[in-house]
Amino acid sequence: MGFHPGYEVDTCPICGAKLVVKEFMGYGINSGYFSECPNCHLYDDIWACGIRELTVGDWKSESFLSDYGTPTKDEAKIEKRNLRMMRHKIWQEKLRRIFKK
């Protein structure tokens, strides 16, 4: 399946550095989070109440439903398309970093 973003992910999929994670609290419960890489600044993930946005390098996903409830077929397609593109962009950034050194 490959890399899947989530709250439990604590290392950058591009450079391996520890991610900085900030939680959103609403009425005393965790309603979302924002994680970003302070090292390469090429990856961030924001998830709040089932809506996710991803950034890898210069690519930014559209907002999409993710990891929340039971998605419709259309919502599942959108999530799958965004996750596939994210994985592709992660590999591009990894290769770019390797050949840049």
Q: Whole-model pTM?
A: 0.87
Give the CA distances from residue 22 to residues 50, 63, 98, in Å, rounded to whole numbers and listed in that order: 16, 19, 29
At residue 82, the pLDDT reads: 95
The per-residue pLDDT for range 31-55, each reduced to its tens digit, is 899 999 999 999 999 999 889 999 9
Mean pLDDT of the chain: 92
